[in-house]
Chains A and B, each alone.
Chain A
């Protein structure tokens, strides 16, 4: 896996006229993980989007080295397509890496249109897209939403393997996420 780093310094985020958090600094190197915790609406998703470069920071700067892979509440799969073609669009775009369809329990869902899939099945499909992307820096926004306990363990195992290969995981979740050696950061410490 390529060398990857994630550095955020003195970040602040403003939504409307409200500052959600400020003075947040974070540094992760290959093989490191961090979980962002906090109540609903405290700015976990905003932080993930700022680090992904999809939202401007109100203050501070972000530097990410390495390809970013993002999971959020939107699976980015065409709802009217069957799961197989919907996933293979991303597979072709990402260079045809083999994805973990068997392991994620999606093998018998490939001909089901995405709009008929449950929340948990869509989340698994998004994970298959992420694994196919071979990104070094994983930004996971509520990756466990809608997953059953078996799938939760699977996601934790996948994240563990990703770290072992020298990747970075930044996880925003209010649910417990079991991952060895993972740092935790409470966003409540940075509210103004």
Chain B
């Protein structure tokens, strides 16, 4: 079983990581940096304003960047018949989805944390704020990855599924955003702990919710 899961992870990473074959894998990262670059143009160069709002902007940009690859996460594999073949080999959808959450997170979480350092420089954030943003992203991006896979599975096969997935993720990501970006305002670690708690709940739910959704989509 674990050997099969390793093979699945290898394939998922080959698809989702940089230079991946499902196209547009650098896109979330560039999108994230573009938002961070455009923000000072939009609100003006006042350093105090930028420093105060910059952390929140990084969080919103991270959320939007995580939404970009949703339509490539689950649906192509259902359409190509991969999930059918895995089911015949006795690999549970729950495991496949768990592996996919891990691969999705690896493809955008760590790169986003690196890009946040660049963004922090662009927005003029101080070291303490950057540390809180990075810790918050570390706690929050696994939850975003799980949420993304869950919503991608639920909307697989629907007409306009890609747009619907984005619409569904945003309200469900509110708790992550409230606690993650909120930790910047309070300057405390309790916000990050709550972000991590929301992430863990999402990570625990996703295999079952997304697995059931994939089985239902197969029909």
Contact = CB atoms under 8 A, between A and B. Distances in A.
A135 B15 CA distance: 28
Nearest to A73: B81
A80 B82 CA distance: 14
B95 to A, nearest CB: 13
A75 B77 CA distance: 11
Given A54-B218, A74-B79, A76-B82, A68 B88 contact: yes
A94 B82 contact: no
Contacts of B159: none
Given A55-B219, A89-B7, A93-B7, A76 B81 contact: yes
Counting contact residues on chain A (CB < 8 A from B), the size range is 20 to 34
A22 to B, nearest CB: 19
B80 A79 contact: yes
Contacts, number: 52
A69 interface: yes
Contacts of B15: 78
Nearest to B11: A89
Nearest to A92: B7
A69 B11 CA distance: 21
Contact of A52 (B4, B8, B79, B88): B88
A94 B89 contact: yes
Interface string A78-122: 111100000001101110000000000000000000000000000
Interface residues of A, dominant DSSP: loop
A112 to B, nearest CB: 15
A96 B219 CA distance: 31
Most interface-central of B15, B81, B219 (chain A CB within 10 A): B81
A169 interface: no
Contact of B89 (A55, A80, A93): A93
A55 B89 CA distance: 16
A2 to B, nearest CB: 14
B156 to A, nearest CB: 15
Contacts of A74: 79-81, 84
A172 to B, nearest CB: 15
B205 interface: no
Interface string A37-80: 00000000000000011110000000000011110101111111
B135 to A, nearest CB: 37
B85 A80 contact: no
B88 A77 contact: no
A150 B38 CA distance: 61
Nearest to A76: B81
A68 B88 CA distance: 6
Contact of A76 (B22, B80, B218): B80
Nearest to A75: B81
A74 B79 CA distance: 8
Contacts of A133: 89
A158 B89 CA distance: 21
A70 to B, nearest CB: 6
A40 B219 CA distance: 19
Nearest to A135: B88
7 contacts: A53-B87, A70-B84, A70-B85, A76-B81, A76-B84, A90-B85, A94-B89
Q: Which 10 A-B pairs have the closest CB atoms?
A: A74-B81, A76-B81, A80-B21, A76-B85, A68-B88, A76-B82, A93-B7, A92-B7, A54-B84, A70-B88
Interface of B: 4, 7-8, 11, 15, 21-23, 79-82, 84-85, 87-89, 218-219
